[in-house]
Amino acid sequence: MHFSKDRIAALEKHTRTHFINSLSGFKSANLIGTQDLQGNTNLAIVSSVIHLGAHPPLVGMIMRPHSVPRHTFENIIETGVYTINQVNSDIYQQAHQTSARYAKDESEFNATGLKTEYLNDFKAPFVAQSRLKYAVKFVENQHLTVNGTELVIGEIMDVYVDKSALQSDGFLDLQAIDTVAVTGLDSYHTANKLNRLPYAKK
């Protein structure tokens, strides 16, 4: 099948959204934990977390346009800290529910039954049930004028991971901790590793 630009544009809005969102394939499912200065906690599922560099350890994510209240983005800008918590198969349904629209003073933690966890005096909440989570300090954001989204860049400060995932060379075996991936907006998957290949040389 061939989908031209015109054919894509002619698709019904929700059909087009599912179609385009599925094109980029399997993505990591992460819960972003934040808290405002009044102590209101917020939790939002994000599938756009990307590695930006290891030295220093930087991570980025795309946040939707700030045309309506975006509590996660607002809390990050306000406090300068947030957590990234990978989703596993035990909590993927609760994680998905965080994409619903809740009021700013209504915590997604409470609404979904996910538990807050505060570690080493970090001011943003972690998800207790996540098996790989990290504390992030906000560095900068870039407004993308092409579609109004925000590229949020942060520095990884602390990492908490189940011992079963860590291999001797530093590699994290995400399959060992049952991490799930997401395609499109609502399809969740577990992964099966094919192999680890040696460093490619010419």
Per-residue tokens: 87: 């989703």
Residues sharing a CB contact under 8 Å with residue 46, sequence separation 6 or more, in sequence order: 30, 31, 32, 61, 63, 72
Summarised one tens digit per residue, pLDDT across range 124-183 is 999 999 999 999 999 999 999 999 999 999 999 999 999 999 999 999 999 999 999 999
Identify the CA nearest to 174 among candidates 189, 187, 184: 189
Question: For residue 120, how far is the Cα from the chain centroid?
Answer: 22
Identify the CA nearest to 147 among candidates 45, 37, 25, 65: 65
DSSP state of 125: P
Angle at 29 between CA 25 and CA 30, to 5 degrees: 145
Rounded Cα distance between 201 and 188, Å, is 35
Q: What is the amino acid identity at position 164?
A: S
Summarised one tens digit per residue, pLDDT across range 159-175 is 999 999 999 999 999 99
Summarised one tens digit per residue, pLDDT across range 7-16 is 999 999 999 9
Average pLDDT, integer, range 118-126: 97
* pLDDT for res 192: 87
Confidence of residue 68 (pLDDT cuts 50, 70, 90): low
Does 67 score more than 70 pLDDT? no
Summarised one tens digit per residue, pLDDT across range 34-48 is 999 999 999 999 999
- What pTM did the predictor assign? 0.94
